[in-house]
Copies of this chain bind each other. A is one copy, B any other.
Amino acid sequence: MTHNVAILGASGYTGAELVRIIATHPNLRIAALSADRKAGQAMGAVFPHLRHLDLPMLTKIEDIDFGDIELVFCALPHGLSQAIVRDLPRSVKVVDLGADFRLRSTEDYKRWYGLDHAAPEMQPEAVYGLTEFYREPIRQARLVAGTGCNAATVQFALRPLIKAGVIDFDDIICDLKNGISGAGRSLKENMLFAERSTDVMGYSIGGKHRHLGELDQEFTMIAGRKLEIMFTPHLVPINRGILATCYVKGEAEGIHAALAKRYADEPFLNVLPFGEAPSMGNVTGSNFCHIGVIGDRKAGRATVIATLDNLNKGSSGQAVQNANLMLGLDETEGLMLAPVFP
Query: Which segment of A68-76, A239-247, A321-329 sits at the interface?
Result: A239-247
Contacts of A195 in B (CB 8 A): 185, 193, 281, 342
Contacts of A32 in B (CB 8 A): none
Q: Is A83 an interface residue (CB 8 A)?
A: no
The bracket for how many chain A residues form the interface is 35 or more
Query: Taking the nearest CB of chain B, how far is it from the CB of A14, in angstroms?
Result: 11
Is the pair B288, A52 in contact by a Cβ cutoff of 8 Å? Answer: yes
Is the pair B20, A297 in contact by a Cβ cutoff of 8 Å? Answer: no
Is the pair A236, B200 in contact by a Cβ cutoff of 8 Å? Answer: yes
A161 to B138, CA, bound (A): 49
Contacts of A181 in B (CB 8 A): 194, 342
Interface residues of A in 279-329 (CB under 8 A from B): 279-286, 288, 290, 294-298, 301, 303, 305, 307
Closest to A197 in B: B239
Q: Is A4 an interface residue (CB 8 A)?
A: no
Q: Is A217 an interface residue (CB 8 A)?
A: no
Is the pair B200, A277 in contact by a Cβ cutoff of 8 Å? Answer: no
Contacts of A241 in B (CB 8 A): 198, 200
Mask for A230-252, Cβ within 8 A of B = 1, else 0? 10101011111101010100000
Query: Which segment of A91-99, A124-132, A332-340 sits at the interface?
Result: A332-340
Is the pair B207, A297 in contact by a Cβ cutoff of 8 Å? Answer: yes
Q: Is A228 an interface residue (CB 8 A)?
A: yes
Instruction: Pick from A24, A192, A283 the residue with the most CB of B within 10 Å.
Output: A192
A214 to B288, CA, bound (A): 38
A336 to B296, CA, bound (A): 40
Query: Taking the nearest CB of chain B, how far is it from the CB of A114, in angstroms?
Result: 16
Is the pair A193, B48 in contact by a Cβ cutoff of 8 Å? Answer: no
Q: Is A90 an interface residue (CB 8 A)?
A: no
A236 to B194, CA, bound (A): 11
Contacts of A175 in B (CB 8 A): 175, 245, 247
Closest to A284 in B: B198
Q: Which of B52, B177, B203 contacts A277 (CB 8 A)?
A: B203
Is the pair B47, A341 in contact by a Cβ cutoff of 8 Å? Answer: yes
Closest to A287 in B: B52
A294 to B232, CA, bound (A): 11
Q: Is A118 an interface residue (CB 8 A)?
A: no
A24 to B337, CA, bound (A): 7
Q: Is A188 an interface residue (CB 8 A)?
A: yes
Mask for A177-200, Cβ within 8 A of B = 1, else 0? 100110101011101111111111
A/B interface sample: 7 pairs, CB < 8 A: A20-B338, A23-B338, A49-B338, A51-B282, A181-B194, A201-B243, A234-B243
